[in-house]
Amino acid sequence: MKRPPKMLTVREVAERLGVKASRVREWIHGGQLVAVNVASDVSKVPRFRVAPDALATFEKSRTVSAAPKQPKSYRSCKRAGFIEYI
């Protein structure tokens, strides 16, 4: 029987991403990061766990690619205060 991957706590996710735990909770409440609440029904405080594959999906969606380079503009510059005599 295959064992499920270890679920990550909010603190562990925050350490991996280099952010505060409150930011990770914002992502979870906002629906950007998928997590499971493992707290009991009696407890009022949620205890979230994040699956490694959900974290990988989240990281892929947050990856920024480099902007395409714009072609150089070869405009002629005229010097300020320079008068052309023809």
Going along the chain from its start, the domains and CATH numbers come out as: 8-61 (1.10.1660)
What confidence category does residue 71 fall into, taking pLDDT thresholds of 50, 70 and 90? confident
Q: Helix and strand tally (H, E) in the chain?
A: 3, 3
The dihedral sign for the CA sequence 15, 17, 18, 19:
negative
Query: Is pLDDT of 73 > 90?
Result: no
Question: What is this structure's pTM?
Answer: 0.67
Residues 6+ positions from 1 with CB-CB distance below 8 Å: none
Query: Per-residue pLDDT for 85 more than 80?
Result: no
Tens of pLDDT along 4-44? Answer: 678 999 999 999 999 999 999 999 999 999 999 988 877 77
48, 10 contact by CB (below 8 A): yes
Above 80 in pLDDT, residue 81?
no
What b/e sequence results for 4-31 when a residue is b if at least 16 CB atoms lie within 10 Å of its CB, and e otherwise? eeebbbbebbbeebeeeeeebbebbeee
